[in-house]
């Protein structure tokens, strides 16, 4: 059985990274997609694990060669999902999980209509501000910019298939596991394969 | 949160009844809809528990008074779902489970588009024949008639939302529980409530 293409989006600070990590620990057959980006690594981030850190000319070349499943320019940096490892994983029957923003998620949906789009919702805007402040890696004005960005991201929620509130990580992950099980039972999915 | 309206269909002998019973034992907030029918009780069946056993004039009156969420004539008997207890359960936040045939399921979908239609699939046609023979309550020609009916029911599968193979009852029930969890996360469902 072909794996599912799962897109996980939501505002910065909502806990997408933790959710994806726990999900991949609980399910053996998950491929966590690694994005390419032109932004500088944060302390502790590893090339090829957290991101492929590449320069702008390299990124433009990948766009032109159609090697990206989706890409976007956020702030002044490029982010994108290399296409090949995702489809390799799906063909091996693994679920490919893309932790990307809503612009990217909607691009993926257009190119792969059987993708499952999951939006992670913070319990509240106040909680989101707390989490960003606790993370402590961003300057204050960058936090305000991220909160404004978060509001715009929330507006894209209606384009997504599922909304999962990240109150407790374990509950959010359990809901995503249920979504995976349910999606594998969808009749539409059987029909797509026959065509 | 409003409960879900779940339709469980599938060929005779596939194990719908057992699945619904186990599901209602595992989930405290499930209302198992009791159908009305004009057919005679089988040994051990109780009025008001397995079915409301009513006569044909009474049934026709319920149709005319729009007291049925769906109804159909199968073989020479009427079957139908009384509307009021289903919507009472949903308003109380319980999930209403309707174990009905595909004609009825599609009627429910038209009248309540947010209903979730689940089709229970036998592991194979041979397995289905074995189960019907083991049940031993039906005459041989009735079994053949039911198998032909089962084939026609399978053709309606594509109109349903989910297909769950009943290989092991516990696995089938776990999948339905996952479908319930996933459906409660569906963005479309939040949108419906806002309108």
- pLDDT given for residue A148 in this prediction: 79
- pLDDT given for residue A136 in this prediction: 65
- pLDDT given for residue B191 in this prediction: 54
- pLDDT given for residue A47 in this prediction: 95
Inter-chain CB proximity B177 and A175 less than 8 Å: no
- pLDDT given for residue B23 in this prediction: 96
CA of A153 vs chain B CAs: smallest distance (Å): 14
- pLDDT given for residue A192 in this prediction: 47
Which chain B residue has the Cα nearest residue A187?
B162
Whole-prediction pTM value? 0.84
Nearest of B98, B106, B61 to residue B81 by alpha carbon:
B98
- pLDDT given for residue A154 in this prediction: 74
- pLDDT given for residue A194 in this prediction: 43
Which ipTM did the prediction report? Answer: 0.83
Q: How many CB pairs under 8 A join A and B?
A: 66
Distances (CA, A) of B6 to A65, A181, B58, B106: 47, 17, 26, 12
Look at residue A193 and tell me whether its pLDDT is greater than 60.
Answer: no
- Read off the pLDDT of residues A13-54 as tens digits, 9 standing for 90 and up: 889 999 999 999 999 899 999 999 999 999 999 999 989 999
Six-digit token pair at A96? 């490919």
* Grouped pLDDT means (10 residues each) for chain B, 195 residues: 92 90 94 95 93 96 95 90 94 95 91 94 78 73 78 81 94 97 91 45
B119 neighbourhood in chain A, CB within 8 Å: 187
Domain spanning B5-194: CATH 3.30.70.100: no
- pLDDT given for residue A189 in this prediction: 83
Which comes out higher in pLDDT, residue A154 or A47?
A47
A106 interfaces chain B, CB cutoff of 8 Å = no
Q: Which residues of A164-193 are buried (b: 16+ CB within 10 A; e: fewer)?
A: bbbeeeeebbbbbbbbbbbbbbbbebeeee
A158 interfaces chain B, CB cutoff of 8 Å = yes
User: Measured in Å, how far apart are chain A's first and last C-alpha atoms?
Assistant: 15
Look at residue A115 and tell me whether its pLDDT is greater than 90.
Answer: yes
Look at residue A123 and tell me whether its pLDDT is greater than 70.
Answer: yes
A185 neighbourhood in chain B, CB within 8 Å: 118, 162-164, 175, 178-179
Which comes out higher in pLDDT, residue A84 or A124?
A84
Domain boundaries, chain B: 5-194
Mutate to test the interface with B, among A162, A166, A170 (most CBs of B within 10 A): A162
Please name the residue that has the structure tokens 């726990």.
A22
CA distance A185 to B22: 19
Nearest of A120, A37, A24 to residue A78 by alpha carbon:
A37
State the average pLDDT over residues A173-180. 98
């Amino acid at each position: 059985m072909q794996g599912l293409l799962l897109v996980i989006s939501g505002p910065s600070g909502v806990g997408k990274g933790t959710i994806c990590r726990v999900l991949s620990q609980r399910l053996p057959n998950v491929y966590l997609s690694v994005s390419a980006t032109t932004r500088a690594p944060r302390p502790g981030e590893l090339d090829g694990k957290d991101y492929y850190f590449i320069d702008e000319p390299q990124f433009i070349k990948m766009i032109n060669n159609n090697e990206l499943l989706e890409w976007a320019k956020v702030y002044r940096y490029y982010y994108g999902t290399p296409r090949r490892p995702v489809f390799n994983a799906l063909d091996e029957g693994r679920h490919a999980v893309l932790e990307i923003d809503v612009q990217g998620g909607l691009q993926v949906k257009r190119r792969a209509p059987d993708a499952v789009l999951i939006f992670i919702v913070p319990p509240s805007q106040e909680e989101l501000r707390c989490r960003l402040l606790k993370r402590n890696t961003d300057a204050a004005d960058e936090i305000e910019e991220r909160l404004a960005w978060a509001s715009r991201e929330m507006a894209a929620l209606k384009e997504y298939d599922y909304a999962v509130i990240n109150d407790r990580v374990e509950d959010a992950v359990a809901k995503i596991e249920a979504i995976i099980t349910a999606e594998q039972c969808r009749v539409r999915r059987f029909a797509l394969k026959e065509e």
